């Protein structure tokens, strides 16, 4: 964070912080985009759905992702499933206990 703050200030960007005890912190860097008329928008590349490759080291890996932010959960699930993982999500300790069982043991655990 100190590096981001230093570089942000050198570039003239505003750095802000919002923190709640026991909940976490949010850091933001505000970057001016300029005038929309000056922006050249390239044509969008076609979106190609990719299948996980058979040589993926995480292929068929059982992963639990425990995070209270639904946006993070959605992004994490999308990425891991693209890599061929079987993903279980929980929004906190109670949610993790609800999916826990002797038959559902994760091989990889991601915690926030």
The Cα 13–Cα 31 span in angstroms is: 6
Query: DSSP string covering 65-104, please?
Result: EE-S-HHHHHHHHHHHHHTT-EEEEESSHHHHHHH--TT-
Rounded CA gap, 48 and 62, in Å? Answer: 25
pTM over 0.85: no
Tens of pLDDT along the chain (112 residues) come to 677 778 778 888 888 888 889 888 888 888 777 776 776 767 766 665 566 556 778 888 999 999 998 898 999 999 999 989 999 999 988 888 888 886 778 899 998 7
The number of angstroms, rounded, from the C-alpha of 49 to the middle of its chain's C-alpha atoms is 19
């Amino acid at each position: 964070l100190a590096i981001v703050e230093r570089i942000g200030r050198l570039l003239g960007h505003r750095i802000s912080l919002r923190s709640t005890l026991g909940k976490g912190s949010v850091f933001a860097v505000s970057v001016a985009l300029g005038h929309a008329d000056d922006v050249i928008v390239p044509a969008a590349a076609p979106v190609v759905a990719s299948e996980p490759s058979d040589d993926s080291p995480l292929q068929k890996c059982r992963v639990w992702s425990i995070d209270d932010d639904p946006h993070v959960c959605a992004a994490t699930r999308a990425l891991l499933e693209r890599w061929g993982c079987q993903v279980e999500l929980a929004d906190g300790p109670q949610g993790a206990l609800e999916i826990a069982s002797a038959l559902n043991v994760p091989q990889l655990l991601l915690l926030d």
